[in-house]
Amino acid sequence: MKKENSNRRLSRRTFLRNSMQSAAAVAAGLCLPGVLAGCDTKVVEAFLQKHFLELSPSELNKVLRGLEKENLKKYGTSTVVSAKPAMPGVLFGYGLDLSRCIGCRRCVHACVKENNQSRDPAIQWIRVLEFPKEKGIDFSEANPYYCASGAGQLSDEQRDILAKPESQYPLYQQKETAQGADCKVPRPDHFYVPISCQQCENPPCVKVCPVNATWKEPDGIVVIDYNWCIGCRYCMAACPYGARHFNWAEPKLPAQDVNPDMHYLGNRPRYRGVVEKCTYCIQRTRNGRYPACVEICPVGARKFGNLLDPKSEIRSIMERKRVLILKNDLATKPKFYYFYGL
């Protein structure tokens, strides 16, 4: 018995030793013929990079400039990657007026454009669900594929609207295209609930991350460090709102569509094998601007502001309107408030 035990221990030790040796050999084979000499230094740096929250200012600066260089090489456009921290005394909240939303999906595509999402395979952070009015909010009746007859590609008119949201007005004089003639929204007897990250105050996705690659910032935004994410997708399983999306393939982002205003924790281009999600347009909101979805919404159903400021729009909504949060029973405490403006 004892012998067997020692044998087993021995074999385990040998296994460990062998695996260490083989790992070293792999490392040497990849990029250590002379110490780190034959290796692309950027690859080594990215591999050895510390966790975002542990980077010193000078290290962070180096990382950001490195990312900008990478972007320039890959897309041929100069970009600015910032890592602006949260403003003090700010907790972001979002309001969405369910009695106004018409399900036009402009927010979905404005978000894709603003946040440099992969166009192929298409990743969309906002999902607009259509519900039949007679059933109420019953997720088993939800349909995200309504009016799907078109080619799935944006028309030139639609691109113009995304580039210049003010050009949609006056709303009642919009030109009609042949493509949209067969289906217009809102469809009779239906209502629409757009769903994206709910920026929970008690986020289950953060709890399950085995490597702390995702966390809640002081202004309430749940962010991901794409350099730290190992792609295990536990967070996607934990999220009750389906708000997280995985890059199964190398994300494809046409060079002419790159939004050069980037944030390290937000819309910088992602890698294959990492998870991404809505960040309330962190690159905009930390500079005081409204998120892209708020600015595109043609009916003004989307509201955004500081929950700690009693004069903000979102606070006046919470004081005056009927507000609901999704899946209240899960105690995730979303900071995304649906309300009825009527």
Partner 1 sequence: MTKILVTLSVISGLLLFLASGVLIRADTLEVASEPSPVFEGIQTPAPPLSPDYFPCTTCHEKGKTNNLRRQLTEDHTDIVFDHDAKNRWCLDCHAPLDRDKLHLASGELIDFDQSYRLCGQCHGPTYRDWKVGIHGKRIGMWNGQKNYFLCVHCHDPHSPSIKPIEPFPAPVKPVGKPFLFEARNR
How many CB atoms sit inside 10 A of residue 46's CB?
A: 15
- For the chain, the C-alpha Rg in angstroms (whole number) is 24
* 38: amino acid identity, one letter: G
Q: In angstroms, what is the minimal distance from the CB of 145 to partner 1?
A: 5
Q: Whole-angstrom Cα distance, residue 103 to residue 155?
A: 18
Token look-up 């020692």 returns 6
Q: What angle do CA 79, 84, 90 make, to 5 degrees?
A: 140
Q: Judge whether 38 and 31 are in contact, CB under 8 Å.
A: yes
Whether the link from the prior residue into 186 is cis, omega within 30° of 0, is yes
Q: What element of type H or E holds 294? A: helix 292-296
Q: In angstroms, what is the minimal distance from the CB of 295 to partner 1?
A: 5
Among 34, 171, 189, 210, binds partner 1 (CB under 8 A): 171
With binding defined as CB under 8 A, does residue 285 bind partner 1?
yes
Q: Whole-angstrom Cα distance, residue 276 to residue 267?
A: 9
Q: In this structure, what token pair is assigned to residue 15?
A: 């296994």
Using CB under 8 A, which of the segments 21-29, 43-51, 168-176, 266-274 binds partner 1?
A: 168-176
With binding defined as CB under 8 A, does residue 152 bind partner 1?
yes
Using CB under 8 A, which of the segments 60-68, 212-220, 319-327, 329-337 binds partner 1?
A: 319-327
With binding defined as CB under 8 A, does residue 132 bind partner 1?
no
With binding defined as CB under 8 A, does residue 145 bind partner 1?
yes
In the chain, the N- to C-terminal Cα span, in Å, equals 77
With binding defined as CB under 8 A, does residue 297 bind partner 1?
yes
With binding defined as CB under 8 A, does residue 167 bind partner 1?
no
Q: Are strands 245-246 and 275-276 parallel, antiparallel or unpaired?
A: antiparallel
Q: In this structure, what token pair is assigned to residue 308?
A: 């700690």
Q: In this structure, what token pair is assigned to residue 173?
A: 């004089």
With binding defined as CB under 8 A, does residue 56 bind partner 1?
no
Question: Phi and psi for 140 in degrees, rounded to 5?
Answer: -75, -15
With binding defined as CB under 8 A, does residue 106 bind partner 1?
yes
Task: Draw the binding track, 200-239, toward partner 1 (x: CB under 8 A; -: no contact).
Answer: ----------------------------------------
Q: What angle do CA 323, 326, 329 make, to 5 degrees?
A: 105
With binding defined as CB under 8 A, does residue 158 bind partner 1?
yes
With binding defined as CB under 8 A, does residue 115 bind partner 1?
no
Among 83, 197, 282, 317, binds partner 1 (CB under 8 A): 317
Using CB under 8 A, which of the segments 48-56, 119-127, 212-220, 270-278 binds partner 1?
A: 119-127
With binding defined as CB under 8 A, does residue 122 bind partner 1?
yes
Specify the DSSP class assigned to residue 307.
Answer: T
Sign of the torsion angle spanned by Cα atoms 206, 210, 212, 213: negative
* 47: amino acid identity, one letter: F
With binding defined as CB under 8 A, does residue 190 bind partner 1?
no
Among 4, 134, 166, 329, binds partner 1 (CB under 8 A): 166
Q: In angstroms, what is the minimal distance from the CB of 163 to partner 1?
A: 14
Q: In angstroms, what is the minimal distance from the CB of 333 to partner 1?
A: 21
Among 294, 332, 334, 335, binds partner 1 (CB under 8 A): 294
Contact residues for partner 1, defined by CB under 8 A: 97, 102-106, 108-109, 122, 124, 127, 144-148, 150-154, 158, 165-166, 169-174, 176-177, 179-181, 183-187, 285, 288-290, 294-295, 297-300, 303-306, 309, 312-313, 316-317, 319-321, 341
